[in-house]
Each structure stands twice: as C-alpha cells, then as structure tokens.
A and B are shown apart, each in its own frame.
Chain A
Amino acid sequence: MKQHSTFNLQFSTTIIFLLFLAVLAVPVTALAQDAEPYAPTDDEINAIAREMFCPVCENVPLDVCGTQACAQWRALIGEKLSQGWTEEEIKQYFVDQYGARVLSEPPREGINWLVYVVPPVAFLVGAYVLLKGLRSWRQIEPESTPLVNDEISDDYVARLEDELRKSQ
C-alpha cells in the first residue's frame, strides 16, 4: 500500500508536475507566438489612417492630423494591426466605435446610396438632353434659312488652312 501509495504519490506528483509544466507551457508558447510580435510600421498604420477621418480634426485625413486624439487613434490602429486584425476589421471597429463619419466615403447602404447614384444619373440626363437637343437642331436644319457657313464665319482659319494647303 505504502509502496503503492508512494508510487502513487510519485506518479501523481509527476502528473501534477507535467500538468503544471503544460499549464505553464501553454501561456509560454502562446506568449512565444505573441512575442515574436508583429510590430506594424508607421507606413502600415498610415496606409490605413489616410483613408480615415477623425471627428476632432474635420476634413483632415487621420494620417496627417496632428492632434493628440488622432495620435491615439493611430496608436490604436497599430495595436489592432499587431493583433492581426485586417484593414477591413479595423475600419469596421472604428465605425462601430465612432460612427460612419470616420470613413472617407459614406458606407454604401441606405440613404447613402444617393451620394453615389445622383451624380451619374444627373450626368446621363444631361447627356441625353444635350444629344436630343443637338438632334432636334439638326433636324430643323433643312428648313431653316441657309447658314453662314464656317468659311465665312471663321475666315481667318479658312485663310490659314488655305495657306497651309498651298504650302504642302
């Protein structure tokens, strides 16, 4: 029994020791993973920061804003990067924390679609109207009085072209 128990004790201490080692080792290896820490460079931080805006310095991109608040934001980006976050995740984090205004463009959702849709639509409408206008002008042409043709209305150019032709 005693023996056994000794053995047992030895066995259990070994087990405990091993377990202890294991328990120790887990954070150690975990630390080892963290400890070859990926330290983001200023450039990597700025690459993300330049597409963000901090409400403290409005309309100045985060990468060049000089306030303390912005310096903290950049440090936070660095911290997230070192934890292995992607650019998208970091931006999303900032949006959740501080609102959509941190992005350099409105997120494509809800009423914000208007910002992307209206200019091209307006442009197309303008182009259509212009085209139609030009067409209708041309259609009227045959009936309208004879035009002053371009040779006369631009006689200087005409003369120039003439001289050019001669010179060639």
Chain B
Amino acid sequence: MIANLGYGALVLTLIVSFYGIGAALVGLRKNKPALVDSARNAMLLTFPLLTLSALSIIYLLATNHFEVEYVASVTSRSMPMYLKVTALWGGQSGSLVFWSWLMSAFASAVTLRKWDRDREFLPWVIVVSLITLAFFLALNLFVENPFTRLWALPSGQVIEAMLRPAGGSLYFPSDGRGLNPLLRHPGMIIHPPMLYLGFVSFVIPYAFAMAALITGRTDDRWIRLTRRWTLWAWMFLTLGLVLGGRWAYDVLGWGGYWGWDPVEIAAFMPWLTGTAFLHSVMIQEKRGMLKQWNMVLIILTYALVIFGTFLTRSGVLSSVHAFAQSAIGPLFFAFIGITFIVSISLLMQRWNALKAQNQMTSMLSREALFLLNNLLFLGILVVCFWGVIFPLISELFTGQKVTVGPPFYERANGPLMAGLLLLMAVAPLAAWGRSTYQTLGRAIWKPTVAAAVVLVAVIISGVTNIYAMIGIFLASLVIAVTIHQYWRGIMARRKRDGSNFLAAFTKLMQRDPRRYGGYLVHISMAMLAIGIVGIEMFQTETQGTLSQGESLELGRYTMVYDELAVFNTNDARNVARAVVSVYKDGKPVGELYPRRDFFYDSQQPMTIPGVRSTFADDFYVLLVDWEEISSNSATFKIYHNPLVKWMWVGSWVFIIGTLISAWPEKEKETAPKRSQHRVAAAAD
C-alpha cells in the first residue's frame, strides 16, 4: 500500500538521520574517518528516501486516494492534474515533507562536493543539517502525518489514524474538500517552493558557520565555501517574496502586492538579515574584520527562518496565510530555543577568536558604508519584528488585541529604505580601506546630474509629493551611478584592448561577475523601489455601481461596463465574468475581464482582477458585486496603479544579476587559498 510505503520511507529517513548524527559524532570523538564517511552516506541516503516518500504523496494525490486524510483535505476530483500534484505543498503536512525533501537535496549536494581541504568541517556540517532535517521529519511523523487514513469504526464513527484501529475499515469519502481556491494560481504554485528553497538553503551557510565555530577554524574559509549557497538562498528567498507579491496582486484583489501581513513579514525578516550578511561578509573577505558580526548575522538569519516557519504554521499569529491551527507549535518552540541557546553559546565561546585582524581606517571607506547598510537593514528588522510581536505583548498586558498595520510599517521603514537607496548609490563608489570626499564627489557628480534631470522631469509632470520626489531621485541616482560604473568599466576596457562595446561588456562581466552581477541587482532594487513609490504614493481608486453601457472614470481612464455572464465550468466553479472596455483619454485601449470565481467544493469565492499593464501604469478592475438575476448592473472597483510593472520587470533583472553574481569562477577556485590579498582582490 502506497501510504504505508511513503510512511515507512519517512520513518526510515528519520532513523538514517539519527544514525548519521551518531556516526559523525562518534567518528569525530574516536577519530575514525570511516564512520564520518558512513555519516556522509547516511546524509546522501536521506534524499532518495524522502524522494520516495514525496512521490508516494504525489501518487496518492494524483489518483484521488481520499481515504488518506491529507489527500481529502487538499484535493478534489474536479481539480486539474497539475494542481493535484502541486497540492503536495498545499497543506501543512505535505508541505513539511516537501520542506524536508528540499532540505535533504541541498544538504546532499553539499556533502557531494570535494572536501579535501575542509575535512574538519564535514562531520559538523552533516550533524547540523541532519539535526534540522530530523526535526522536520519528527514533526511529520509525530504531529502532522501526511499518510494518516480515515477509518470507519463499527460504531459508525470515522477517525483518523495511521494504523488500522480495532474493527475499523478504510473509509472512502466520495470526494475531497479541494484546495483552497486562493492557492490555485500559478504564482501560488511556485511561491511556496521558492520560499522553502530560500529557507532551506540558508541552512547550509548556517551549518558551515556552526562547523567553523565548533572546530575553531574561524578564518573566512566558511564564508568563501558558502558564498554561492548564500547567494542562491538569497535569490530564492527574494523570488519567493516577489512571487508572493505577484500572487497577492493577481488574486487577493486588494489592488496591492504587499499588506504587511505578519506572515509576509515572517518571510521578509530572514531576507533582511540575509541581505545584510551578503554585504558584510565582503568586509570579512577583504579586510578580515567583522567576523563576530557575520556569525551573529548568519545565526540570526537561520533563527529567523525557523522562527518564520514557526509563526506561519503554529497559528500564534492570525493571518490570511492560512495554515490551520496546529499542534506543531510547542515542538517548534523547543527547537527554536535549543537553536538559539546552542548557537549563542558557541558564538560566545569563540568570541575572542573572532577578533578582527584589521582596523577600520576611514568613515568614508566602503566597509564603513557597509556597516551603515547593516545598521539600516537591522533597523528595518527591528521595526518588522517589533510590529509582529507587539500585538502579543499588548494582549498579554491589557487583554486587548491591537492591529499593527501598514501605516506603522510604512512610516517607520520608509526613511530606512530611502537610506538604503542612498547607500546603494554611494557605497559602490567608495574604495575599501579609505576614500576621500574628493574622489567620491568626482565619481558621483555626473550620475547626480542625471538623477536631477529625472527629478526635474518628474516635477514638471506634476508630482508634488515630496516623499515621492525623494524616492524617485534616489532610485534614479542608483541606476545612474550603476550604469556609469558599467560605462567606466567598458570604456576602460575598450581603451586597453580596443574591443567593441559589446565585447568589452561581456569581458567585464566575465572578469568580475560578482561585482557586475551585484550592480545589476542594485539596478533591480532601484526598479523595485520605483514600482513601490508608484503604487504607494500615486495609487488612486474609485468604486461605482453601473448599468450596462454606463461608465466609470478615474483620472485619464474611462471604463465602460459592456456585459456580464454567469456560468458554471467543468472544474466545479461558478464564474461571473464581466466585460468592460477601457478608454484612455477617450481612445479605446482594450477590453478587460474581471471575474469572480466561486468554488463549489470549498464554498469560497475568489476575485480575479482584469489588469491592463504598461510601464507607465496599471489599470486594475475588480468585479465587486452584481445583480444575481438580471446581471444588469454591477459594482466595480478600479485602481490606477502607476509604475507597478517596474517591480515585475525589476525582479527579472534581479534574477539575471544574481545568476551572474553566483556564476562559478574557475580560476579563483584553483588559486592558492592562504595568501589572501590577491585572491580577495580578484574576488571583489
């Protein structure tokens, strides 16, 4: 029986994990490399085992095995096959298995690398990864078992159990309850895997950091080894966040992409520390400073990953991100506690060994600016963390719930984010060690003029909002500075070998992918900022009830209500779909089809907007309500969202930038490692 097979595989994985942990520890203590190798094999074995388990769930999902409780809770007969398969991460227990599977894939990939020069890390990396894995497996096996089946007892009662209860017989519901309709969206299908990928891949740098602390090899080796892992983790996490925003924009029908919901913030917090980490490790690589701080950041990131998962899944915070109330809270709580205590103790023990080899020389150096960047990121973290946790505190002391909503976060984080933009413009121009105002000024005046031109253009176009002006100016400054940097690089290269523009550009990217990929990421962040300024500060909306043929106006747009059709689909939806024509300045620019889908199996509606998207603005129509019978009149809500498209385009730029940045550099890996400076220079 497939359910038993999958369950058995999970049990076996847990046993193998425990064996691996034990073998690695004993191997270390008794100094037996064979045992460590065995632990490594155990690590590798978890992957096929978990694959088997995940495939079992997918098989059960795809073949309508509704006697399995998880299958009944997330699928129904009418769902298309691709949704049945992806329902693997549509519910608590299945997504935990998926989490473990990804985790095991990453950890296995890490253990497969050549360890010749870093043998002392290997057992500890295995131990840390396997402990994390074992924890998630334990959650699956003891609390959230995806393979529990439904049994009918002689008394007529139906219960959930893994094993057949006395006198029980399998109970087959005729249909499942179906996936939450909000999750039936392409964005939602890839959003969780991306987030999970980001989350689990941060386990790797953390495992290395712990290995470094435990073994006492506290030079920057662990950072160099995990740089690419960290970048991948960071990329997936960012994509997960962006896709979540896209999903909210397309499906939730609030005309926005980010609602400062506690669960969104829970995923955002590790991103903040992760981004700070990505920057501050460079200081350690270049200057041998901030070793302690980097440890703090990676521990914090890992802790926030676990903490975020805990917040999302334990039901401590109420949120639209519905994971049902669950009993996994206490286990998670214990795990977080242990993680914190062990990591902090280790860090304190090695605190003095982590002292800096170098000193800060100038307030204007790149490292000083990076520290400022870290301060800002942590400032945002404090705001987010405090905002998320405060309702708990308030309820504790006053017994009354409060909401900490978007206005709080926007007001508090706005200036910090503007500061980050400014740093993004200045820091790449500052040299390591020491810079002067003169050199900085020379490097920045041209881009500043360019950004000022943009600002003037924006003001002429009628923008009066001072915050918007600041935001647009800073974002343009970042883009101008970065393009100028490319330009200087390309020109210098052309001067030297006379190559053409494109060749020089490619050469530049090849020569220093980390730097120029990073610049591309900066540009993408500025584009994101432009989109955010657009929607946050210039969003307008209106709502009205129209009869057929009547129109609603918003700014330069006019929307005419043409018709509405209500019909049933063969995948158990009732769809109300309106046809509206959109005119801009009186000229027709197209038809949109806002609709409301009602899902019979889950009895939930879903509002899908009609969106016309251009680089200047989005015209976003929601069908709010309509007259059931005549469908003569209908209520629409329309939003005008300027510049949003820049966000989505920016995220593509972001992917390209991160990929370039994470591209393997052959020569560097073979360079002699212990003589630092030349390598460090090449690595910038």
Contact = CB atoms under 8 A, between A and B. Distances in A.
Interface of A: 41-43, 46, 51, 53, 55, 57-61, 64, 66, 99-107, 110-112, 114-116, 118-120, 122-123, 126-127, 130, 133-134, 137-138, 140-141, 144, 147-150, 152-157, 160, 163-164, 166-167
Contacts of B401: 55, 99-101
Given A111-B394, A160-B492, A106 B544 contact: no
Given A46-B543, A100-B402, 4 more contacts: A64-B255, A103-B402, A106-B390, A167-B491
Given A64-B254, A155-B681, A111 B405 contact: no
Nearest to A167: B495
A92 to B, nearest CB: 16
Contacts of B408: 104-105, 115-116
A106 B379 contact: no
Given A138-B360, A144-B359, A163-B492, A59 B407 contact: no
B393 interface: yes
Interface residues of B, number: 73
Q: What are the 6 A-B residue pairs with the smallest beta carbon separation, nearest first?
A: A150-B433, A104-B405, A137-B360, A42-B543, A106-B402, A163-B492
Contacts of B287: 153
B359 A147 contact: yes
Given A153-B677, A154-B432, A60 B259 contact: yes
A112 B361 contact: no
Nearest to B412: A119
A154 B253 contact: no
Nearest to B260: A59
A114 B396 CA distance: 14
Contact of A126 (B379, B397, B405, B511): B379
**Listed residue (A102, A148, A149) with the most chain B CB atoms within 10 angstroms of its CB:** A148
Interface string B357-378: 0111111010010011001001
Given A53-B403, A59-B320, A99-B401, A106 B543 contact: no
B618 interface: no
Contacts of B522: none
23 contacts: A51-B407, A53-B405, A57-B320, A59-B262, A64-B254, A66-B253, A99-B400, A101-B402, A106-B394, A106-B402, A107-B402, A111-B393, A118-B386, A119-B382, A122-B379, A126-B378, A127-B375, A144-B359, A149-B433, A150-B433, A157-B684, A160-B492, A164-B492
B434 interface: yes
B318 interface: yes
A59 B394 contact: no
Contacts of B635: 42
B358 A147 contact: yes
B411 to A, nearest CB: 9
Contact of A100 (B361, B400, B432, B682): B400
B489 interface: yes
A130 B375 CA distance: 8
Contact of A149 (B375, B406, B434): B434
B104 interface: no
B359 A43 contact: no
Contacts, number: 184
Contacts of B678: 155
Interface string B283-324: 000110000000000000000000000000000001110000
B371 A134 contact: yes
B496 A134 contact: no
A33 to B, nearest CB: 26
A110 to B, nearest CB: 7
B398 interface: yes
B33 interface: no
A60 B254 contact: yes
A45 B34 CA distance: 72
B383 interface: yes
Contact of B320 (A60, A116, A127): A60
A51 B255 CA distance: 15
Contacts of B390: 106, 114-115
A127 B680 CA distance: 29
A127 B677 CA distance: 30
Contacts of A118: 382, 386
Interface in B481-526: 488-489, 491-492, 495-496, 511-512
Contacts of A99: 400-401
A122 B545 CA distance: 49
B542 interface: yes
B433 A167 contact: no
A41 B635 CA distance: 12
A50 B431 CA distance: 47
A104 B394 contact: no
A80 B319 CA distance: 29
B404 interface: yes
Residue of A104, A111, A144, A153 most packed against chain B (CB within 10 A): A153
B575 to A, nearest CB: 16
Contacts of A114: 390, 393
B259 A59 contact: yes
Contacts of B379: 119, 122-123, 126
A110 B398 contact: yes
A62 to B, nearest CB: 11
Contacts of B372: 130
Contacts of A119: 379, 382-383, 386, 412
Nearest to A110: B398
A104 B409 CA distance: 11
A127 B46 CA distance: 46
Contacts of A134: 360, 363, 368, 371
A57 B412 CA distance: 25
Contacts of A122: 379, 382, 386
B607 interface: yes
B261 A59 contact: yes
A163 B508 CA distance: 14
B497 to A, nearest CB: 11
A105 B390 CA distance: 11
B412 to A, nearest CB: 6
B550 to A, nearest CB: 14
Contact of B359 (A101, A105, A126, A141): A141
B403 A106 contact: yes
B541 interface: yes
B534 interface: no
A127 B495 CA distance: 43
B492 A167 contact: yes
B488 A150 contact: no
B387 interface: yes
B365 A137 contact: no
Contact of B431 (A110, A144, A154, A166): A154
Contacts of A126: 375, 378-379
B382 A111 contact: no
A105 B405 contact: yes
B488 A152 contact: no
A42 B400 CA distance: 31
Contacts of A130: 371-372, 375
Interface in B327-374: 358-363, 365, 368, 371-372
